[in-house]
Amino acid sequence: MRRKYYLEDLPLDAAWQRFQAALDRVEAGRALPAERVSLAEAGGRITAEPFWARLSSPHYHAAAMDGVAVRAAETVGATETTPCQLVIGQQARWIDTGDPLPLEMDAVIMAEHVQTLDDERIEIRAAVAPWHHVRSLGEDMVATELVVPENHRLRPVDLGALAAAGHADVAVYRRPRVAIIPTGAELVTVEAAQTAALQPGAIIEFNSLMLAGQVAEWGGSATRQSPVPDRREVLREAITAAVNEYDIVVVNAGSSAGAEDYTAAVLAELGEVAVHGVAIRPGHPLILAVVQGKPVLGLPGYPVSTVLTAELFLRSLIYRMQGQTAPRRPTVNAIMSRKVLSPMGEDEFLRVTLGQVDDRVVATPLIRGAGIVSSLVRADGLVQIPRFSEGVHAGAPVTVDLLRDPAELASTIVAIGSHDLALDLLASHMRHIVPDARLSSANVGSLGGLMALKRRDAHLAGSHLLDEETGVYNHSFVARLLPDEDILLVNLAYREQGLIVLPDNPQQLHSLADLTHPEVRFVNRQKGSGTRVLLDYHLKQNGLHTEQIAGYDREEFTHMAVAAAVLSGTATVGLGIRAAARALGLAFIPLFKERYDLVVPRRHWESVRLTPLRQTLESDAYREAVAALGGYDVSDMGKLM
């Protein structure tokens, strides 16, 4: 017998307000007390009070040049033809930059405009105005002037100005100390995962790493605690101890209402649960509580939910406790490349990649699962789909919160289409040649890539589409789908396709015909993928029918997903590339060699943006690296086909 889920569906703003109200009732979550730190340690910290100049700068009239100090009145009338002589020691004194101006002097003449006559006299050939080349007292700052206001993030130049104004230390808000408590008996450290094989069910604990990194970026100081098992008493003790010692406590996860989710119950015992369940996706099972005057957040355990709910709530809190308002992320206007349906009633935060193609910025949604941490790595931005909306149409304008520097987007090459490990290698080698080059690749199959080019969503597409009529790769598809474009087919490599089976090939499969054996459970690729086209072509050539193959209807979207299905035993065989088999330690029975091209509109191929890619295709290091993958023939790499 299981408990059912009883979570609220509080709208985002209502959740924040209720949390604020709970914090305010006990005066929690406010700016922390100030501490004094030396200027050398104050960079990036936030001033807790205004700072006024204690000293003027300069604090005396100073020579601004190396030269002679003079009385301007005594230089009147000096010209090229009527030079003026001055007696050193009486009328003129040699002086270096920064030296105090002698009391009776009021100007400085640069050394190069001074003629030395002898040890006692100099000659000048131009008059000088009073205060010329003099930095007068307080020229920079006068005592009592404001140097920096309160709530100001100290930059290097602020440190200089504060020192010049006579401050050796500053009062800054203490950094919020955040305790991160991972929960779950299944958690293992990444260090442990490196030394022993992971058991099924064991999960590498990495959410606390991401949270600690976020906390540091926002100015807080995080302490990652050891994972706590899902036991009520233990959890209560851990939270109680953390609340005593830290300014904010984050419990991750156990924030839902499942059989082993005790966080909410424990927090309700210890303090006040202001919010349990927010109508956002991902991130719904979220707890916002106050215990002994300290904010306690129960963040959901799926990594994308963890990161996103931390962004939404923890970030604001950490800024606020340093007297700041969290800055808004920069945004960019983009066009949504695909239709996105979103559930009514929830604010959805969609991760997208962004591509600047021609004059448009195109946002392509990434896979939405809350467990896909790689989608956060690949995301260029977030699109918020409001809870009263059912989604976004293809081609609709959207505002994207940027997760990257806009300059990075300007140099990003967008590849959408068939995926291949050689593309990953390309992305990596490109950075070796041009450090800030970037390849963003989305995996939608060969046909999907050509459609993306047609919609102008990408700069290039990886494609290995075999024409069943002609037996030639890519040409006919490009001619049919992109008739008006000047398209280049640039070969990346020829690669082997074959059967992926368990080690030692237990079913002894050696040909396509073997797939019709009754004990075979096949796993297929999706329609439109190059591998699917290849399979169908050869089935036809061999007079085989799709109904003869058990599992022909089961579709996966990547080579790797096919290999994973074989490894886990849910299928006994799939068709794919050697690299996928090798990645999971599976056996590979080569059947075909296929051509894998980059399909690139000429205007992109010849653009500056693609220079790093062109250079990489020409580099020996890259060619050798692809060849070393095994199963690749790189003899035509970079050739126009």
Q: Of 321-350, which residues contact a second copy (CB under 8 A)?
A: 323-325, 327-328, 330
Q: Is residue 555 involved in binding a second copy (CB under 8 A)?
A: no
Rounded to whole angstroms, how far apart are CA atoms 139 and 151? 26
Q: Is residue 307 involved in binding a second copy (CB under 8 A)?
A: yes
- Looking at residues 257 to 296 of the shown chain, list those that interact with a second copy (rule: CB under 8 A): 258-260
Shortest CA distance to 247 belongs to which of 272, 222, 268, 265?
222
Using a 10 angstrom Cβ sphere, with 0-12 exposed, 13-18 middle and 19 or more buried, the burial of residue 437 is buried
Phi then psi for residue 144, to 5 deg, are 85, -15
Tokens 């068939």, located at residue: 418
Cβ(171)–Cβ(323) under 8 Å?
Answer: no
Q: Is residue 427 involved in binding a second copy (CB under 8 A)?
A: yes
How many other CB atoms are found less than 10 A from the CB of residue 3? 9
State which residue, 256 or 474, has the beta carbon closest to a second copy: 256
Q: Is residue 152 involved in binding a second copy (CB under 8 A)?
A: yes
Q: Is residue 303 involved in binding a second copy (CB under 8 A)?
A: yes
Count of alpha carbons within 13 Å of 175, Cβ hemisphere only? Answer: 18
Which range of residues in 134-142, 455-463, 524-532, 597-605 is near a second copy by CB under 8 A? 134-142
Q: Is residue 167 involved in binding a second copy (CB under 8 A)?
A: yes
User: Which one of residues 33, 77, 89, 156 is an interface residue with a second copy (CB under 8 A)?
Assistant: 156
User: Which one of residues 18, 85, 166, 485 is an interface residue with a second copy (CB under 8 A)?
Assistant: 166
State which residue, 118 or 469, has the beta carbon closest to a second copy: 118
State which residue, 299 or 451, has the beta carbon closest to a second copy: 299
Rounded to whole angstroms, how far apart are CA atoms 224 and 219? 16
Q: Which residues of 488-521 are buried (b: 16+ CB within 10 A; e: fewer)?
A: bbbbbbbbbbbbbbeeebebebeebeebeeeebb
Q: Is residue 73 involved in binding a second copy (CB under 8 A)?
A: no
State which residue, 167 or 456, has the beta carbon closest to a second copy: 167
Which range of residues in 233-241, 494-502, 533-541, 582-590 is near a second copy by CB under 8 A? 582-590
Which range of residues in 22-30, 482-490, 578-586, 593-601 is near a second copy by CB under 8 A? 578-586
State which residue, 487 or 563, has the beta carbon closest to a second copy: 563
- Looking at residues 428 to 487 of the shown chain, list those that interact with a second copy (rule: CB under 8 A): 428, 430-432, 435-436
- Looking at residues 367 to 386 of the shown chain, list those that interact with a second copy (rule: CB under 8 A): 369, 371-374, 376-377
Give alpha helix (H) positions in 143-206: 156-164, 190-195
Dihedral over Cα of 171, 291, 326, 353: its sign? positive
Q: Is residue 103 involved in binding a second copy (CB under 8 A)?
A: yes
CA 565 from centre of chain? 31
Q: Is residue 391 involved in binding a second copy (CB under 8 A)?
A: no
Q: Sketch the per residue contact string, 496 through 535, with a second copy: x for CB under 8 A, - otherwise.
A: ----------------------------------------
User: Which one of residues 14, 34, 37, 111 is an interface residue with a second copy (CB under 8 A)?
Assistant: 111
- Between the alpha carbon of residue 88 and those of residues 123, 125, 632, the distances in Å are 10, 16, 84
Shortest CA distance to 516 belongs to which of 496, 542, 498, 541?
542
